[in-house]
């Protein structure tokens, strides 16, 4: 049996052992409803309150700006649909980058079907928003602009500060929403400088539990709720809170942010080692961009389909992805890769390697040996 090398952290990350052990009592004995007035409920409510405060400190926002959700997809839907359903916000246009995750792209399209004017912002071949094109799209009728902080397939960081300056000049009433699912804990999110109004987060991308996320209102902002009911989360997201999930989210985010800070020099070296190693395989086409972050490597092996490459790598113990795990069941080439100028043939043969705090230089030689075995076998297909 080959050893396992997990390189699909953009899809999900492993729950930190320490986080599980510290929050497990909330599953085993702390079963109270946070809205109940008795002792069990009060304890559960305190756990939710502490989690909210911890995340707020990490992001430097008021605690009431944290709205817990079921994950990044719900957060993106609440941001966009909540903004367009709010009577206090003006404008009929919504702009989203051409490389957004479906959690943003699909609600934006839905809003377009409901009468909003939905338009996509082109991106460059380096995988970043085309700022000149964005400037030409902005006007006083734009209600929401949504651009992710780090792309989930290419790993490119978007120029959020520059986008914010354009919005301030050309569309000052627009709400700037940022899908920060891939960026949170990995790099600073200077929402003040960029003028960001809303941030979407997901716990399972930062070594927390699945089924938990948050929408962060960086400044007071009126949104309409998607879910109506008991009025939890200040009426913005009704439904009984998940004390274990949100407590694990906050603890995992704190620990992961600290580890990423400590590992920053190593992570840059780790990715560089991968790029140098892949350069020895002339059949591979490696995506390179000055905007690339250190947490992802993307390559193609045309004309071999990405699924075939993935399974050969898995046979050697390397667990990778052909793209976004939320859309890999679709036979079409990724809209992200096509928008960045990749050919359909290359897009269909793409592979994404994504890293976390658990991927270190120790044992990298074994990973490379396993990768080479897979490539050798593929060369004989």
Kindly state whether residues 240 and 97 are assigned to the same domain.
yes
- % of the chain exceeding 70 in pLDDT: 97
Give the per-residue pLDDT at 323.
61
Last residue of a domain, one of 218, 253, 288: 253
- What is the chain's length? 381
Is the Cβ–Cβ distance between 57 and 73 less than 8 Å? no
329, pLDDT greater than 80: no
229, pLDDT greater than 80: yes
pLDDT digits (tens, 9 = 90+) for 51-71: 999 999 999 999 999 999 999
**Rounded to whole angstroms, how far apart are CA atoms 323 and 155?**
11
Domain count, the chain: 2
Give the per-residue pLDDT at 380.
65
161, pLDDT greater than 70: yes
pLDDT digits (tens, 9 = 90+) for 99-111: 999 999 999 999 9
How many CA atoms does the CB half-sphere of 378 hold within 13 Å? 26
The set of catalytic residues is 326
Give the per-residue pLDDT at 324.
44
Residue 173 C-alpha from the chain's centroid: 26
pLDDT digits (tens, 9 = 90+) for 260-276: 999 999 999 999 999 99
Average pLDDT over residues 139-166: 98
CA dihedral 74, 77, 78, 83 (to 10 degrees): 170
Token digits for 303? 């004309």
Give the per-residue pLDDT at 212.
98
Average pLDDT over residues 288-309: 96
Is the Cβ–Cβ distance between 340 and 29 less than 8 Å? no
Kindly state whether residues 9 and 41 are assigned to the same domain.
no
159, 9, 152, 156: which is closest to 76 by C-alpha?
A: 152
Which residue intervals of the chain are DSSP H helices?
17-23, 25-28, 39-59, 72-85, 102-113, 131-137, 160-170, 191-194, 243-278, 306-315, 335-339, 344-348, 364-378
Average pLDDT value over all residues in the chain: 95
Kindly state whether residues 71 and 126 are assigned to the same domain.
yes
**Rounded to whole angstroms, how far apart are CA atoms 356 and 360?**
9
Kindly state whether residues 198 and 295 are assigned to the same domain.
no
Give the per-residue pLDDT at 325.
46
Last residue of a domain, one of 253, 279, 311: 253
In which domain, by residue range, is 168 found?
17-253
123, pLDDT greater than 60: yes
76, pLDDT greater than 70: yes
327, pLDDT greater than 80: no
201, pLDDT greater than 70: yes
pLDDT digits (tens, 9 = 90+) for 179-192: 999 999 999 999 99
| 29 confidence band (pLDDT: 50, 70, 90) | confident
Is the Cβ–Cβ distance between 158 and 149 less than 8 Å? yes
Give the per-residue pLDDT at 379.
81
Kindly state whether residues 86 and 201 are assigned to the same domain.
yes
Give the per-residue pLDDT at 330.
56
Kindly state whether residues 277 and 343 are assigned to the same domain.
yes
CATH number for the domain spanning 278: value is: 3.90.1150.10
Kindly state whether residues 170 and 137 are assigned to the same domain.
yes
Kindly state whether residues 99 and 189 are assigned to the same domain.
yes
> How many CB atoms sit inside 10 A of residue 85's CB?
15
Kindly state whether residues 202 and 233 are assigned to the same domain.
yes
């Amino acid at each position: 049996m080959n050893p396992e090398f997990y390189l699909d952290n953009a899809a999900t990350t492993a729950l930190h052992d320490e986080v599980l052990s510290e929050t497990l009592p909330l599953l085993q004995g702390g079963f109270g409803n946070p809205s109940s007035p008795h002792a069990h409920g009060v304890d559960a409510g305190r756990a939710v309150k502490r989690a909210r405060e911890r995340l707020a400190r990490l992001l430097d926002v008021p605690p009431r700006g944290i709205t817990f959700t079921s994950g990044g997809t719900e957060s993106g839907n609440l941001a966009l649909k909540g903004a367009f359903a709010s009577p206090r916000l003006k404008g009929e246009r919504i702009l989203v980058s051409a490389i957004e995750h479906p959690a943003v792209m699909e609600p934006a399209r839905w809003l377009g079907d409901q009468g909003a004017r939905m338009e996509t912002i082109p991106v460059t071949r380096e995988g970043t928003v085309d700022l000149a094109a964005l400037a030409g799209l902005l006007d006083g009728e734009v209600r929401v602009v949504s651009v992710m902080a780090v792309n989930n397939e290419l790993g490119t960081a978007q120029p959020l500060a520059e986008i914010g300056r354009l919005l301030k000049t050309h569309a000052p009433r627009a709400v700037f929403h940022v899908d920060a699912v891939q960026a949170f804990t990995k790099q600073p999110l200077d929402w003040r400088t960029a003028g960001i109004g809303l941030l979407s987060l997901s716990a399972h991308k930062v070594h927390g539990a699945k089924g938990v996320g948050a929408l962060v209102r960086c400044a007071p902002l009126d949104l309409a709720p998607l879910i109506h009911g008991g009025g939890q989360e200040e009426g913005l997201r009704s439904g009984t809170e998940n004390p274990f999930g949100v407590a694990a989210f906050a603890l995992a985010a704190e620990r992961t942010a600290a580890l990423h800070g400590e590992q920053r020099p190593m992570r840059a070296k780790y990715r560089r080692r991968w790029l140098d190693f892949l350069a020895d395989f002339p059949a591979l086409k490696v995506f390179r961009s000055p905007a690339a972050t250190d947490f992802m490597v993307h390559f193609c092996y045309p004309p071999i389909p990405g699924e075939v490459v993935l399974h050969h790598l898995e046979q050697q113990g390397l667990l990778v992805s052909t793209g976004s795990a939320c859309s890999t069941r679709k036979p079409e080439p990724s809209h992200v890769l096509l928008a960045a100028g990749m050919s359909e043939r290359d897009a269909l043969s793409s592979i994404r390697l994504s890293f976390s705090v658990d991927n270190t230089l120790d044992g990298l030689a074994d990973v490379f040996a396993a990768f080479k075995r897979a490539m050798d076998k593929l060369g004989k297909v």
